[in-house]
Amino acid sequence: MKQVLNQNGIYIQRSEDGKSRYIGSAYGSGGIISRWMTHLEFLGNANDDKMQFTNKTTKAAVRDFIKQAVDKGLIEKLWLDKFDNGTMTNGDYEGLKLIIAQRSN
């Protein structure tokens, strides 16, 4: 297990209550375990990683990208709901971009 966690990759975490999911990626030295330790030490929980925008145009573009993927059946509508509710994390979005790219081919 230690060998696997020392590798780079994409991972999914869930909250203790099972209600929240977090998709993250680990790269560089230390792999997934190093990323998790950094997350625990500095970030606390997934709520610290909520998507925030400083520009309305950028926020609208991201929402439109997600909505188009929902309309094409590439992802479930719950992802658009998470975005609209302000509960989508940066990790969620990065994971969705990968899923959308894979399913678009």
Q: What is the pLDDT of residue 48?
A: 55
Residues of the chain with pLDDT > 90, as a percent, come to 35
Q: What is the pLDDT of residue 46?
A: 47
- Rounded to an integer, the average pLDDT of 61-90 is 93
Q: Among 24-28, 69-73, 81-85, 88-92, name the one with the lowest average pLDDT.
A: 24-28
Residue in the structure block whose two tokens are 């606390």: 44
pLDDT in tens, 26-66: 877 788 888 777 766 665 554 556 788 888 999 999 999 99
Beta strands in 1-100 (DSSP E): 9-14, 21-26
Give this prediction's pTM.
0.56
**Across the chain, what does the average pLDDT equal?**
83
- Distance from chain centroid for Cα 37: 18
Closest CA to 79 of 103, 55, 44, 45: 103
